[in-house]
């Protein structure tokens, strides 16, 4: 009964989890495309700088990156509020991962597709949006699905900033009730959310059935 009484608290935590997840996706996926292009640029300086950024993001823990932004940046006068810190850290981190997925997707498109477009006199932007991008999206959906579901679970790292996400709510009530039941509720909620997201991604993948 106690668990049912606490349900609104869990749902508050879930709201923060899903809100952060959605904001990060909406920002990082569109950002990742230009990053993937710059990373593939023939200009060695910009390509190298982008590779360095991606290496740092992949080579250090997200938790550490968040601590750096929240506790380190104020030293040089840059202060973010807690939730903004989480958004900034996640967006910078996930953009790097998505960019690498998109880069591999773009590379997997046969160069004959670009050449066919060139022979037909189709402009590069038209060819990209009508031909290359749809094929790239289809190729990267499974890898993107992985990242998108991992992101749901990664949002639990915001406990370090004192934000009340789903897992933190579970931990608080597990302590106060001296019971594992809140963790079970949290686990079930995560599982439901991730299952719904996975099904959605599967549907998108099937819609590219040509």
Partner 1 sequence: MLKVTNLYKSFGEQTVLNDISFELASGEIMCLRGKSGAGKTTLIRCICNLDKADSGTISINDIESLENGKPNKAYQNTVGMVSQGLDLFPNLNVMDNITLAPVSRKLMTKEEAEKNAQALLDSLEIGDKAKSYPSRLSGGEKQRVAVARACILSPSVLFFDEPTSALDIKATREVANLIEDIASRGISVVIITHDESFCDMLGARQIVIESGKIAN
DSSP letter assigned to residue 40: T
Rounded to whole angstroms, the Cα distance separating 190 from 25 reads 17
How near is the Cβ of 58 to partner 1 at its closest, in Å?
30
In this chain, which stretch among 3-11, 39-47, 111-119, 181-189 interacts with partner 1, using CB under 8 A?
111-119
Q: Other CB atoms closer than 10 Å to residue 51's CB: what's the count?
A: 14
Asked if 119 interacts with partner 1 (CB under 8 A), we say yes
Asked if 42 interacts with partner 1 (CB under 8 A), we say no
Contacts to partner 1 from residues 136-195, by CB under 8 A: 138
How near is the Cβ of 28 to partner 1 at its closest, in Å?
25
Asked if 124 interacts with partner 1 (CB under 8 A), we say no
For 19, 20, 91, 95, 116, the CA distances from 25, given in Å and listed in that order, are 10, 9, 8, 9, 33
Q: Which of 30, 38, 173 is nearest to 98 (CA)?
A: 30
Asked if 122 interacts with partner 1 (CB under 8 A), we say yes
Write the CB contacts of 169 (distance below 8 Å, at least 6 apart in sequence).
9, 10, 12, 13, 182, 186
Asked if 52 interacts with partner 1 (CB under 8 A), we say no
Rounded to whole angstroms, the Cα distance separating 97 from 111 reads 24
Asked if 203 interacts with partner 1 (CB under 8 A), we say no
Q: Which of 8, 59, 112, 162 binds partner 1 (CB under 8 A)?
A: 112
The residues that touch partner 1, with contacts defined as CB under 8 A, are 110, 112-113, 115-116, 118-123, 126, 130-131, 134-135, 138, 208, 210
């Amino acid at each position: 009964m106690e668990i049912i009484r606490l349900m609104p608290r869990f749902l508050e935590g879930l709201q923060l989890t899903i809100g952060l997840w959605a904001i990060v996706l909406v920002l990082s996926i569109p950002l990742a495309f230009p990053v993937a292009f710059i990373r593939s640029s023939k200009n060695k300086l910009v390509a190298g700088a982008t590779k360095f950024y991606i290496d740092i993001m992949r080579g250090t823990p997200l938790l550490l990156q968040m601590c750096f932004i929240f506790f380190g940046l104020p030293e040089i006068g840059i202060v973010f509020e807690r939730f903004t810190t989480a958004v900034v850290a996640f967006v910078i981190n996930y953009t790097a991962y998505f960019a690498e997925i998109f880069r591999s997707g773009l590379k997997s498109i046969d160069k004959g597709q670009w050449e066919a477009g060139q022979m037909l006199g189709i402009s590069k932007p038209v060819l990209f949006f009508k031909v290359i991008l749809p094929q790239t999206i289809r190729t990267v959906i499974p890898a993107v699905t992985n990242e998108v579901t991992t992101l749901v679970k990664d949002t639990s790292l915001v406990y370090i900033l004192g934000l009340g996400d789903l897992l933190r709510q579970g931990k608080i009530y597990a302590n106060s009730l001296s019971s594992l039941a809140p963790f079970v509720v949290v686990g079930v909620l995560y599982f439901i959310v991730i299952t719904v997201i996975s099904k959605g991604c599967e549907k998108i993948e099937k819609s590219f059935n040509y």
